[in-house]
Chain A
Amino acid sequence: MALSYLRSSSSRSANLLKPLSSGLSLRSPISTDTTPITVETSVPFTSHRCDAPSRSVETNPKELLTFFRDMALMRRMEIAADSLYKAKLIRGFCHLYDGQEAFAVGMEAAITKKDCIITAYRDHCTFMGRGGTLLEVFAELMGRQAGCSKGKGGSMHFYKKDSNFYGGHGIVGAQVPLGCGLAFAQKYSKDETVTFAMYGDGAANQGQLFEALNISALWDLPAILVCENNHYGMGTAEWRAAKSPAYYKRGDYVPGLKVDGMDALAVKQACKFAKEHALKSGPIILEMDTYRYHGHSMSDPGSTYRTRDEISGVRQERDPIERIRKLILSHDLASEKELKDIEKEVRKEVDDAITRAKESPMPEPSKLFTNVYAKGLGVESFGADRKEVRATLP
């Protein structure tokens, strides 16, 4: 499930890796090697009202390398966004996903682009997972024409309908009923596909979530509600917001699974399991035990409500990229240098994309009035001074 970020950078070949250097001619090329490897997840799954899937996950070198590269790219992208924000090239809200990358890549490995995904505002990496490009991300963050929403949405409003990515939503919890609507439409259309509706531990207490669980279970919707539990709803730790932080059990009559969200293979296994379940028996909750290194958003240092030791502890023990790196090295699928080279490549791709994004112009003033409606009926719309600025909506 390679990302198409390569489109955004230079016109190199579409292969994941450049031809490897010396000493590897005896091994089959790692980037296309699909020899199955079985790996155990870090911890077993905990289940609620269902039989947990096996801890043994099938993967292969190609997939592991893809995971590594994709997560490295996402990580670098988010860190670069941090710098751009501090340089005041990104304005308003910017919610970063670094630390949580395993979920985005693991989920994509288990599903197709015909399955739908909808999430809240921490959406940059989810968008990339659906096939978005670095250029679209950085240009949108900087409010430029080349952005995925042509500069009119911003960080929280990325969409990619042709890959069934439905955003990108700023109102906490709203995306869950919307996701159940996508699932409803999939069932109505008999598409045999599912929807992953993602939300955080903060959103888990929203009333509309319980309404969504009720109606999804009643109507057997193929909806997978994924709680990305990074343990903090903005600055409020889960134990301060939730009487019962066992989010995978919150569905009551809806089955649930608790997953180590920092283990991309566990995520993949859980999502595969959830998709099968949803198509056969209706909704299921997945709780991803994950962590964000940054604060809630760029205006949050992230250290007033948690300790720096906690953050560095997670980074040392559970970092998703490091886990895959260790796996690759221990299975002898690539050398340390090769992995470092990938990281260097990725860094360059990100830098190139930023340069190109900076070159993209801001939207034309006439775009102020476009897309208010799909069918504007020729009515008039007004600027701040209606005698000065008026437009006819197409």
Chain B
Amino acid sequence: MLGVVRQKMLGQSFPKIRPAVSVLRSYSSAAKQMTVREALNSALDEEMSADPKVFLMGEEVGEYQGAYKISKGLLEKYGPERVRDTPITEAVFAGIGVGTAYYGLKPVVEFMTFNFSMQAIDHIINSAAKSNYMSAGQMSVPIVFRGPNGAAAGVGAQHSQCYAAWYASCPGLKVLTPYSSEDARGMLKAAIRDPDPVVFLENELLYGEPFPVSDEVLDSSFCLPIGKAKIERVGRDVTITAFSKMVGHALKAAEILEKDGIDAEVINLRSIRPLDRSAINASVRKTNRLITVEEGFPQHGVGAEICASVVEESFAYLDAPVERIAGADIPMPYAANLERMAVPQVEDIVRAAKRACYRSVPLAAAA
């Protein structure tokens, strides 16, 4: 019944986008709402409960209840042996995490933000990603590196970088970027269960956002497959790929485009490595136009890889050049107006989609 109500209201087959909260509440009073924070917390809790080898390590994950409260309550429940507060020493605690994974434990290492992961990047790449290959399979590394990635609000250049492209270029790593609470739960559980090193890129601004979750999602065995994208919105005219916070922007852009008669298909990539090239290409073969959206720096970014993949696999299907929307090619400024210009906005995605559809409105005529 609820599904029918949602369908009527939103006019779509997948009620996964989030309209105004009050609207949803009035129609779906029985549907459970869960914030991304709660989703991550419950996923960690369930995986730690199911497997005694899983433990959490990072700065402020214990007594502070987590810098962003993701690990709230876990110290009380599992004790200081399994929820370890570390000193501010990323290099060693990432290395220790990898060492425990060599031995057979299943560490979840939290970086307070991925900006600090650069202090530990040698361990992520050289000690974790490459070990299974160099040892011809003797040394698998079942570790998860997780934490907020990308821009927050007003935190400046050193605290705003998106690391998806850097980590996703490295064979041996898996790189995941959840958007909704369903993504957060299903993918964190999959990541913890996966025998390979996973870089799990969350987003601080999404932590507090509620999403509807079904009973299936709430079940402790719920798990999403790694390497599969999700079609958040089915469309005909143009494909928009996005990940993490940008999925929300892409969905809003799709609503706006709909009013102009452009039916956009929005793909939530979910997994940057492995990249779901078949889903992306299948979509482009249907729509013939592609916009890639990401928050990170544009040069050598995720969109560049997607564009190359589509040109290689589906060149004949493209009716327009691939458009890339990305963060500005500058360190992140602090002033609010400049910051706004440094990160993709909904109107950027709308404009690019119109260009791809040869429906650009000249600047002079813009409303």
Contacts and interface: CB of A to CB of B under 8 A. Distances in A.
Contacts of B312: 386-387
Interface stretch (B19-27, B89-97, B202-210, B215-223): B89-97
Given A178-B98, A371-B133, A374-B196, A159 B139 contact: yes
Interface in A369-394: 370-375, 377-381, 386-387
Listed residue (B97, B102, B140) with the most chain A CB atoms within 10 angstroms of its CB:
B102
Contacts of B131: 167
Contacts of A211: 87, 89, 91-92
Interface residues of A, number: 52
B137 interface: yes
Interface string B51-84: 0000100000000000000000000000001001
Contacts of A118: 99
B136 A371 contact: yes
B96 A215 contact: yes
Contact of A178 (B87, B89, B102, B174): B102
Given A171-B127, A214-B89, A218-B87, A153 B100 contact: no
Contacts, number: 153
A373 B128 CA distance: 11
A161 B99 contact: no
A215 B226 contact: no
A122 interface: no
Contact of B172 (A160, A373, A380, A386): A373
B103 interface: yes
Contact of A174 (B55, B95, B101): B95
Contact of B98 (A181, A207, A215, A218): A181
A284 interface: no
B104 to A, nearest CB: 7
B134 interface: yes
Given A215-B86, A375-B195, A177 B99 contact: yes
Contact of A188 (B81, B102, B132): B81
A363 to B, nearest CB: 9
B138 A161 contact: yes
A149 interface: yes
Contacts of A180: 92, 95-96, 99
Interface in B95-141: 95-105, 122-123, 126-127, 131-140
Contact of A377 (B104, B136, B227): B227
Given A167-B139, A177-B123, A185-B104, A212 B92 contact: yes
A375 B194 contact: yes
B171 interface: yes
Interface in A181-232: 181-186, 188-189, 207-208, 211-212, 214-215, 218-219
Contacts of B96: 177-178, 180-181, 184, 212, 215
B274 interface: yes
A183 B102 CA distance: 11
A287 to B, nearest CB: 21
Contacts of B196: 373-375
Contacts of A179: 99
Listed residue (A178, A183, A215, A377) with the most chain B CB atoms within 10 angstroms of its CB:
A178
Contacts of B133: 152, 371-372
A171 B89 contact: no
Listed residue (A177, A215, A371) with the most chain B CB atoms within 10 angstroms of its CB:
A177
Interface string A126-160: 00000000000000000000000111110001011
B286 interface: no
Contacts of A372: 132-133, 171-172
Contacts of A103: none
Nearest to A207: B91
Contacts of A102: none
A177 B134 contact: no
Nearest to B93: A215
A166 B174 CA distance: 23
Contacts of A169: 126-127
Contacts of B100: 181-182, 184-185, 188
A185 B53 CA distance: 9
Listed residue (B99, B140, B226) with the most chain A CB atoms within 10 angstroms of its CB:
B99
A97 to B, nearest CB: 20
B252 interface: no
Contact of B274 (A116, A188, A379): A379
Listed residue (B81, B122, B126, B135) with the most chain A CB atoms within 10 angstroms of its CB:
B135
Given A153-B134, A208-B95, A371-B136, A182 B227 contact: no
Given A178-B127, A373-B196, A215 B227 contact: no
A29 interface: no
B277 interface: yes
Q: 7 tightest A-B contacts by CB?
A: A181-B99, A177-B95, A211-B92, A185-B103, A150-B136, A379-B274, A374-B140
Interface of B: 55, 81, 84, 86-87, 89, 91-105, 122-123, 126-127, 131-140, 142, 171-172, 174, 194-196, 225-227, 274, 277, 312
Given A159-B139, A178-B98, 18 more contacts: A159-B138, A161-B135, A167-B139, A169-B126, A169-B127, A171-B127, A178-B102, A178-B123, A179-B99, A180-B92, A181-B95, A181-B97, A186-B103, A188-B81, A212-B96, A370-B136, A373-B132, A374-B137
Interface of A: 116, 118, 149-153, 157, 159-161, 166-171, 174, 176-186, 188-189, 207-208, 211-212, 214-215, 218-219, 370-375, 377-381, 386-387
